[in-house]
């Protein structure tokens, strides 16, 4: 658990210090304990450790010193009492759902949540009798209207990873506490550098560590942060039994990435905002979904909850999906691919959600992740490929 002194330190200082441990011969970097099990000098010590395999190093599916070091760092940065790392972000999300809800329970989830999360919730509903209601997360009253006697969890994602909509976290968490409902939020987009959900009232915070924490597109991991009580339930009910444990080598790579997290985020933020502003000036772009823009519909809320904006955003355009896929293919510096959070810029194009294309004039949505390349060169790349697009009206005529 972070001390009151560490809570007051700057984020840059927190990620850089507490790294020397005398138990490891003064190593400045945490050693990789590449071991599946840990032996004991006496059976008495073994028996004592077996009383809590989540706290002691007995077997790496339960605990590993390299992984535990990363867990302690992330808990400190998020302001939580404890953390548990997983083999993927979805492993962390699944562990929360399996540990805290069951057949006959009800979950309220924001409708623009990460696609695989929605798919998991729908699957649990269809196969195991978990009740799920998807709502417009921008409307706090929708949360209140969705509450049932068996509601156990509000599942949040603010901003959402597709259209980047915000939830009013203090208001939603206050409502949840009034009704004895837990709140869990995916904070991958913001990281604790730009948003502290626990301080805003959330019970649990989840991350895909694959993204910004790693920062190099070479690892996959996830984490859950919260109180010791809730992490204890997650540990005993789902972490051990699902087997989605993080490997020590993965933990070491993510710990390395963590050291430069704030530096990279500042770069991503500055470049992405510049590119979002440029796209917003294009007449065939209907809307740019970036919380840092002055025209962002929830700008006041975004500024009250976020201290920065990262490198991921989307925009809705009048061009067809097919044309925007051609545009994406014509880019030089943007790779076409899933995920984000690494050094490289990424792009994907698809259909705009119905709520953003009510009159049929904005059929396509493009998600951009801005890496650490020079932003002016990225803008030039965007414009070169854009110049090959026809006017939306011409597209309709030619089709």
Assign domain 261-398 to its CATH architecture: Alpha-Beta Complex (3.90)
pLDDT of residue 266: 98
Least confident range from 117-121, 236-240, 263-267, 392-396: namely: 392-396
Residue 350 pairs in a beta bridge with 365
Residue 289 pairs in a beta bridge with 314
pLDDT at 6 over 80: no
Residue 191's pLDDT band, with cuts at 50, 70 and 90, is: very high
pLDDT of residue 145: 99
Q: Of 382, 160, 220, which is closest to residue 285 (Cα–Cα)? A: 382
Least confident range from 172-181, 276-285, 358-367: namely: 358-367
CA distances to 33, 135, 187, 198, 383 from 68, in Å: 11, 36, 20, 20, 46
pLDDT at 280 over 50: yes
pLDDT of residue 394: 61
Tens-place pLDDT, residues 213-255: 999 999 999 999 999 999 999 999 999 889 999 999 999 999 9
Same topology between domain 4-259 and domain 261-398: no
pLDDT of residue 14: 82
pLDDT of residue 77: 96
User: With contact defined as beta carbons under 8 Å apart, do 146 and 108 qualify?
Assistant: yes
Tens-place pLDDT, residues 40-97: 999 999 999 999 888 889 888 989 999 999 999 999 999 999 999 999 999 999 999 9
pLDDT at 361 over 90: no
CA distances to 58, 182, 192, 210, 309 from 77, in Å: 27, 21, 6, 17, 17
Tokens of 169: 């976290």
The rounded distance, in Å, linking the Cα atoms of 11 and 382 is 34
What's the mean per-residue pLDDT of the chain?
A: 93
CATH number of 4-259: 3.40.640.10
Sketch the domain layout of the chain as residue ranges: 4-259, 261-398
In a 13 Å sphere around the CA of 266, the CA atoms on its Cβ side amount to 5
Backbone dihedral region for residue 243 (phi beyond 0: left; psi -120 to 50: alpha; all else: beta): left
Tens-place pLDDT, residues 377-388: 999 999 999 999
The burial of 366, by beta-carbon neighbours within 10 Å (0-12 exposed, 13-18 middle, 19 or more buried), is given as buried
pTM reported for the whole predicted model: 0.92
The rounded distance, in Å, linking the Cα atoms of 274 and 113 is 26
pLDDT at 277 over 50: yes
Residue 21's pLDDT band, with cuts at 50, 70 and 90, is: low
């Amino acid at each position: 658990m972070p001390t009151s002194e560490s809570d007051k330190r700057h984020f840059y200082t927190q990620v850089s210090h507490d790294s020397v441990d005398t138990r490891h011969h003064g190593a400045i970097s945490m050693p990789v304990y590449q071991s599946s099990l840990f032996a004991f000098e006496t059976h008495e010590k073994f028996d004592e450790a077996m009383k809590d395999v989540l706290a002691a190093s007995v077997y790496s599916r339960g605990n590993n010193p390299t992984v535990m070091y990363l867990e302690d760092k992330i808990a400190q940065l998020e302001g939580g009492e404890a953390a548990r790392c997983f083999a993927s972000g979805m492993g962390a999300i699944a562990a929360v759902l399996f540990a805290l809800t069951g057949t006959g329970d009800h979950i309220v989830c924001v409708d623009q949540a990460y696609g695989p999360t929605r798919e998991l919730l729908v699957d649990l509903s269809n196969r195991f009798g978990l009740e799920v209601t998807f709502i417009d997360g921008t409307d706090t009253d929708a949360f209140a209207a969705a509450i049932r006697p068996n509601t156990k969890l509000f599942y949040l994602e603010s901003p959402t990873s597709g259209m980047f909509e915000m939830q009013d976290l203090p208001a939603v968490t206050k409502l949840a506490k009034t009704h004895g409902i837990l709140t869990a939020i995916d904070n991958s987009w913001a990281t604790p550098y730009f948003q502290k959900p626990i301080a805003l009232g959330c019970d649990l915070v989840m991350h895909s560590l694959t993204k910004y924490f790693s920062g190099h597109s070479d690892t996959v991991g996830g984490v859950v942060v919260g109180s010791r009580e809730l992490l204890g339930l997650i540990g005993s009910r789902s972490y051990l039994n699902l087997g989605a444990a993080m490997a020590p080598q993965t933990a070491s790579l993510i710990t390395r990435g963590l050291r430069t997290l704030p530096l990279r985020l500042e770069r991503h933020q500055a470049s992405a905002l510049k590119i979002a502003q440029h796209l917003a000036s294009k007449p065939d772009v209907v809307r740019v979904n970036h919380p840092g823009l002055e025209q962002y519909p929830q700008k006041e809320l975004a500024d009250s909850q976020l201290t920065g904006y990262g490198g991921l955003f989307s925009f809705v355009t009048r061009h067809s999906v097919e044309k925007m896929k051609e545009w994406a293919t014509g880019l030089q510096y943007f790779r076409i691919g899933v995920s984000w959070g690494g050094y490289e810029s990424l792009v994907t194009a698809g259909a705009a959600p119905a709520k953003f294309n009510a009159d049929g004039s904005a059929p396509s949505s493009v998600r951009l992740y801005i890496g650490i390349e020079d932003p002016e060169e990225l803008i030039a790349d965007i414009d070169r490929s854009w110049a090959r697009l026809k006017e939306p009206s011409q597209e309709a005529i030619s089709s």
